[in-house]
Amino acid sequence: MAYTIPENKKLIPADSDAFQYVGRIDFDDPKRPVLIWPYSYIDTIFTGTSVGMIIKNIRMQDHTYMGAQVDGRMVTLDLGDDAEDKLWMLAEDLEDTEHTLRIYKRMAAANYIEFTGIVVDEGAQVRNPEHKYDYKLEVYGDSVTAGEVTEALGYEGQCDPAHHSQFDNSHFSYAAMLARKLNAEAHIMGQGGISLFDGTGYFCADQLTGMLSCYDKMEYSPYKPRKDWDFSRFTPDAVIVAIGQNDAHPDPDAIKRPDYRRKWKDAYIGMLNDLRGKYPKAKFVLILTVLGHDPTWDEALDEIVEEMATPDVTHYTFERCGRGTNGHPRATEQEEMAGELYRYFRSDIL
């Protein structure tokens, strides 16, 4: 243990009923829940003048970051090399009144986070916000869905600047923005570099891992023991699937060959039908994003919708789909997509 509780402070443990958890989170040990997928978050309301959190960073790449918001003010923490429980102060010298706190995972499988609890003033009151959501949303996708490089503002429409993950922020992904617009409880399964099949895409370069190996997992990194997800824990009203951006690697022409195209579409349909069986009342929306890509992949999604021929599966095409930017969409470009999706949901899905 790499921390001590400061004088005149107290610990509110992770299994307290003061927390509202959102996301595909591992509660096998309720005293140490694990945040895995991006924009998994913990909300609470506290009184007093300060707040900190105790987490353990399970790091799987060089640079890892964690996010929080205190009264809406964003806090970004560079977690460095720490690999044991550590107290991170998030705010001090606050007005002695009631405050909101959200602790959230900025990144995808660059790391997992074990959460132990928060530290507040000794006399503070802490309560569950018990926020009532209007809708439940599930999103599967790649780095755009995970919010990678969204904070590289000033690089709209351009390739990514040099970075080591400091610009990644799931809060600014179109999926998180759409969830907030819809007042939706969202489970966001976004992972940079992921494609549909193992052996394609870019996720985990030494053992390329696809969404077919991850979509039904709670803990999904191939560098750690995987854990299945219990789908009965969350039943969405709608599911967005944004897969196809990275599938052109390592063979960009594969989708243009009839045999591979058939194989890819059948696997995609198989995943959709598995999810449809779990969520028989949900609507499914297939998308690709404004990040540059070959429109052949969008055509394949059109074919999937046509072949499935069911009103619960549709394909939404952004106005600048595949031609908006050669770099990861920045927060402003993510907002563009979230706005389009919000209008589509309001007019055709809800």
pLDDT in tens, 221-275: 999 999 999 999 999 999 999 999 999 999 999 999 999 999 999 999 999 999 9
* pTM beyond 0.95: yes
Q: How many Cβ atoms from other residues are within 10 Å of residue 307's Cβ?
A: 12
Partnered with residue 47 across adjacent β-strands are: 98
Place 83 in a pLDDT band, splitting at 50, 70 and 90.
Answer: confident
Buried b / exposed e across 4-16, counting CB within 10 Å, b at 16+?
eeeeebbbbebeb
pLDDT interval class at 1 (50, 70, 90): low
How large is the average pLDDT for residues 99-111? Answer: 97
Other Cβ atoms closer than 10 A to 222: 17
pLDDT (0 to 100) of residue 56: 97
Residue 61: predicted pLDDT: 86
Backbone φ and ψ for 73, nearest 5 degrees, come out as -85, 125
Domains with residue ranges and CATH for the chain: 9-127 (2.60.120.260), 135-349 (3.40.50.1110)
Residue 3 pLDDT level (bands cut at 50, 70, 90): confident
- State the Cα torsion 96-102-107-110 to the nearest 10°: 80
Query: SS3 for 54?
Result: strand
